[in-house]
Amino acid sequence: MRTRTREKYQSANKLAHSKATALLRYVALVAALLFSLAPVYWMLTISLKTEVEQFASPPPWFVFTPTLEHYYDAFVARGFGDYLLTSAIVAVASTACALIIGTLAAYALARFELPWRLNRRLSLWILSTRMFPAIVTAVPLFLMMRDLRLLNTRASLIIVYTGFNLPFVVWMMRGFFADLPRDLEEAALVDGDSRLGALVRVVLPLVTPGLAATAVFCLIVSWNEFLFALVLTQTDAAMTLPVGIAGRVTQYEIKWGVMSAAASVAIIPILVFALSVQKYLVRGLSMGAVKG
């Protein structure tokens, strides 16, 4: 219906005009695609090229002899396998913690009527904690973790990422709960279920898609996070993949192949995740402010 009216609107314009727009549209589309993807593609080729071909001039965009030596070098000969494991453990553990704690809070904010307008006030306060620039809390968190003797442990990152993801989980889940009609829970309560029972048996199954999307966003954020990981972990025991890669970048002699191989592996889970939450992407990236 909407498209048809829009087409009608367009047909009112000059035909030549709309043809030019159509052409412009496709040119813009192709340019944007090339601009977005070419740099990432270039990194992939560097990770697969021998050192001679990495430095070849003119740069070989398409024709080169692929090799996996840099992947072997990074993940078998050097410590990137460990960094990968740390990144995975930290991301999964912190996501699980944030989801459990955050979903309960979100349900309370969405479904109970709290005194002193606490629903709104607490929600806004929780959101505001997410707005702190990371560096502001990184300095005191470093000192706190030092006092607790948790520097260079995975536990420190799991704790910090849980806190970092929590406001996001609360806001996203609050939105998903609010989208759900109340009748279903009321029916469950009529059937003699408790509030907790209604949440677990009736509400949670219905918000599973939202819960899954929220979990994927938390995994992405934890997987990508750099500043806290840089500040809190400096040894191989607890270094995440981004910190490992960054450590190689700032050394004097840069192993471009190793670095590209590690970076290419780091984006694989992200690509899978991002494509799986496409539908919720705008909503997730705007903390639920835009329901696109």
Partner 1 sequence: MQKSRRFFSALNKRELLLPALFLAPALAVLLALSIYPLIYSITISLQQETVAGITWGLGNFARLFSDNFFLTALGHTFIYAISALVCEFLLGLGLALLLNNQIRGRGVFRASLLIPMMLPSVVVGVVWRLMLNPNFGSINGTLKQIGINTESLTWTASPKLAMLSVIAVDVWQWTPFVFLVLLAGLQAIPQEPYEAALIDGSSRWQTFWHVTLPLLKPSILIVLLLRTMDLLRVFDQIFILTEGGPGFATETISLYIYRTAFRFFDFGYAAAMSFVLLALTNVISAIYIRLIQAEPN
Residue 289: closest CA among 167, 146, 205, 119: 167
Work out whether 148 is an interface residue with partner 1 (CB under 8 A). no
State in angstroms the smallest separation of the CB of 182 from partner 1: 8
107, 169 Cβ separation under 8 angstroms: no
- Nearest CB to partner 1, comparing residues 122 and 206: 122
Residues in 68-127 at the binding interface with partner 1, rule: CB under 8 A: 101-102, 104-105, 107-109, 112-115, 122, 126
Amino acid in the structure at residue 253: E
Sorted by sequence, the CB contacts under 8 Å of residue 133 that are 6+ apart come out as none
Structure tokens at 56: 């070849």
DSSP-based three-state secondary structure for 1: coil
Q: Which residue stretch of 7-15, 69-77, 78-86, 150-158 sits at the interface with partner 1 (rule: CB under 8 A)?
A: 7-15
CB of 133 to partner 1, least distance (A): 4
Residue of 90, 99, 177, 242 that binds partner 1 (CB under 8 A): 242
Residue 240 phi, psi (nearest 5)? -90, 170
- Following DSSP, what letter does each residue of 83-117 receive, concatenated? HHHHHHHHHHHHHHHHHHHHHHHHHHHHHS--GGG
Q: Which is nearer to partner 1, 56 or 77 (CB)?
A: 56
What b/e readout covers 107-138, taking b as 16+ CB neighbours within 10 angstroms?
bbbbbeeeeeeebeebbeebbeeeeeeeeebb
Q: Distance between CA 214 and CA 232 in Å, rounded?
A: 25
Contact pick of 33, 148, 184, 237 for partner 1 (by CB under 8 A): 33
Distance in Å, CB of 216 to partner 1, minimum: 10
Smallest distance from partner 1 to CB 111, Å:
8
59 touches partner 1 (CB under 8 A): yes
Q: Which amino acid is at 270?
A: I
Stretch that binds partner 1, among 69-77, 150-158, 200-208, 226-234 (CB under 8 A): 226-234
Q: Taking CB under 8 A as the rule, does residue 136 contact partner 1?
A: yes
Residues in the interface with partner 1 (CB under 8 A) total 110
Out of 69, 73, 153, 163, the only residue in the binding site for partner 1 (CB under 8 A) is 163
Q: Which of 19, 20, 25, 201 binds partner 1 (CB under 8 A)?
A: 25
Among 72, 191, 197, 201, which residue interacts with partner 1 (rule: CB under 8 A)?
A: 191
CB atoms within 10 A of CB 225: 23
Among 76, 183, 250, 252, binds partner 1 (CB under 8 A): 250
Query: Rounded to the nearest whole angstrom, what is the least distance from the CB of residue 128 to partner 1 in the complex?
Result: 9
